[in-house]
Amino acid sequence: MVITFTSSIRPCCSHLLLSQIFPKYPYHFSKSRKHPNRYEVVAQAASTAQPLHPTFDPVPSTGIPTPILLHELKPLEISPLLPFPEKSRTVDPVRHEPTRRTETVAEREAWKLLNRAVVNYCGKPVGTVAAADVGAFKGDLLNYDQVFIRDFMPSALAFLLKGDTEIVRNFLLHTLQLQSWEKTVDCHSPGQGLMPASFKVRTAPIDGNTSGEEEVLDPDFGESAIGRVAPVDSGLWWIILLRAYGKITGDFSLLERVDVQTGIKLILKLCLSDGFDMFPTLLVTDGSCMIDRRMGIHGHPLEIQSLFYSALRCAREMLGFNEGSADLIRAINIRLSSLSFHIREYYWVDLQKLNEIYRYKTEEYSQNATNKFNIYPEQIPDWLVDWIPDSGGYLIGNVQPAHMDFRFFSLGNLWAIVSSLTTPKQAEGILSLIEEKWDDLIGTMPLKISYPALESDEWRIITGSDPKNTPWSYHNGGSWPTLLWQFTLACIKMGRPDLAQRAISTAEKRLLDDNWPEYYDTPTGRFVGKQSRLYQTWTIAGFLTSKLLLEKPELASILTFEEDNELLEGCACRLSHNGRTRCSRRTAKSQLLGKSS
């Protein structure tokens, strides 16, 4: 069978079966390209895969593939969800048993809007638009009419927590198709595992047929995006969502599919490939994540590292067990342990650590240097000296040679708690700082995307005089209500649902009255953002997901991870309980190789 794809993905209704497009078993396509496409990669991967488990033998005569043994993933042991809307329940804080309650006006409205934001492809739901603000900016929707991978996360979770899994399954499979897209920016092709930032459903004439039209999926990998930035976070979110879907539905048949397994491996290959790096953190350009414009977050921004760590842990659970994956799992384990050491040690600041930095010696040339990155103490910003509380602390935004970005970035810190990238004590410290600095980070609308804002020369130089990112607006110190769901998740993990409840109560009525804006401006979030869209889907979905997580806190485990002690034991440079152990190359090597030094 020969299937030719031209400029768009067309797995649509009329001439192809879905199973042919998303083969559960290896299909052999004869389409040749400069780069092998997904089907060739899938077919190659399937033909070379050898089972490690002796009871799972391939049956070549029938063409039925080797069953894949998932590495670690276990379904959640939870009571089945009740049908919605009867399922509106709350958790009695004392007995932790669900009790029925009626939805609030804001919740009812939010569900109505979320359902309205659903995008269909060939009659099936595949995602939600970024914003359904038809009246916005004289109809100039930019790309807000597209389905963004990162924006769909809270929508997917709201649907999953409600028991509606079809849209999430379709989304996972369709975006997987787009991963193998031939993408070029001025004759250059980015890596094969890249996931798009967003996609749109368009209608196009059927090939060779002047009368008919069909729906096609049209992705954007950054070739059209402002600044032409590759969305590094998309693939990481995709892996995180895949695990959440698997855990809540128990639908492991999806995770075991050869194309899905190949998709995970392609993303990992991109992330784990060798480069010039000296650090275990991922090196990216500015604007490669939720902050998708120039904001001085190039290099090793915290948000990417937290998502990377989380995606590695998810992938490790989901990878099939065979010879091919054994090396990959080993590589993941090594990266996980060095990444967590690096972040816990070098990104963490509290009063004590700041005081250490303040007294740093510089220009140390040696392997035992204390000030490894040659940070000049003058970099400690004035605002931080008074701002850092006596107890608690946070992970700073970026660490590079001779540079520490001391800004507080919410998503990176929250996701570091959720994925156990931090130590439990650091996780407590971050929540305690947020509580202490409530007026600055939550104010009248949760949650600051970054704190504080870049002003004057810093704004001019770092943002390139970006008129959208003026001080205390948008990515530059604006408040983003979508971050509520990540805050709720972190609070539940740390046993502080009261904090999440407080933030949700602050947001609920205002979001409804203001028509669910994308972001708010000013230091305390008092104004609706200057260029903010209304009816922003991830604002709506973030609110609903937060509510659902608070009702069923045990479901937070579809996204969270506990500390992995084996990883810590395997790491030569693990943190001791009451102080920091310096990482020495010799001990690190001998412990990683399992020899004594």
Nearer to ligand GLC, 143 or 423 (CB): 143
Task: Using the minimum distance from each CB to ligand GLC, give the nearer residue, 534 or 588.
Answer: 534
Nearest approach in angstroms of CB 541 to ligand GLC is 11
439 with 470: CB under 8 angstroms? no
SS3 384: helix
Closest approach, Cβ 272 to ligand GLC, in A, equals: 25
Distances (CA, A) of 591 to 48, 229, 570, 575: 32, 39, 7, 15
448 binds ligand GLC (CB under 6 A): no
Taking the complex as a whole, the smallest distance from the CB of residue 147 to ligand GLC amounts, in Å, to 10
Least distance CB 448 / ligand GLC (angstroms): 14
Specify the DSSP class assigned to residue 554.
G
Q: CB nearest ligand GLC: which residue?
A: 130
Q: Is 516 in the site for ligand GLC (CB under 6 A)?
A: no
Please list the alpha-helical segments (H only) found in 37-121: 38-48, 105-116
Tell me: does residue 292 bind ligand GLC (CB under 6 A): yes
Using the rule CB under 6 A, is 294 a contact of ligand GLC? no
Tokens of residue 67, six digits: 């069953």
SS3 state of residue 492: helix
Span of 146-154, 157-165, 350-358, 570-578 interacting with ligand GLC by CB under 6 A: 146-154
User: Is 159 a residue that touches ligand GLC (CB under 6 A)?
Assistant: no
For ligand GLC, the closer of residues 220 and 428 by Cβ is: 220
Min dist CB 356 to ligand GLC, Å, is 35
CA distance 86 to 88: 5
- Binding region for ligand GLC (CB under 6 A) out of 53-61, 145-153, 172-180, 347-355: 145-153
Residue 130 binding ligand GLC, by CB under 6 A: yes
Task: Output the DSSP codes for 137-171.
Answer: GGG--TTTTSEEHHHHHHHHHHHHHHT--HHHHHH
**Radius of gyration from C-alpha coordinates of the chain:** 24
Query: Which range in 143-151, 366-374, 404-412, 429-437 contacts ligand GLC by CB under 6 A?
Result: 143-151
290 binds ligand GLC (CB under 6 A): yes
Helix (H) or strand (E) holding 445: none
Q: Least Å distance between CB 150 and ligand GLC? A: 5
Task: Choose which of 150, 313, 335, 407 interacts with ligand GLC (CB under 6 A).
Answer: 150
> Which listed residue (5, 148, 451, 472) binds ligand GLC by CB under 6 A?
148
Q: Which stretch binds ligand GLC (CB under 6 A): 148-156, 183-191, 308-316, 552-560?
A: 148-156
Least spacing, CB of residue 516 vs ligand GLC, in Å = 12
Q: In 166-258, which ranges are E strands? A: 198-205, 213-220
Min. distance of Cβ 266 from ligand GLC in angstroms? 22
Q: Which of 383, 380, 393 lies closest to 351, judged by CA? A: 393
Q: What is the 3-state secondary structure (H, E, C) of 242-280?
A: HHHHHHHHCCHHHHHCHHHHHHHHHHHHHHHCCCCCCCC
Angle at 344 between CA 343 and CA 350, to 5 degrees: 115
- Extended strands (E) in 490-575: 520-521, 527-528
Q: Which residues in this chain contact ligand GLC in the complex, by CB under 6 A?
A: 130, 148, 150-151, 290, 292
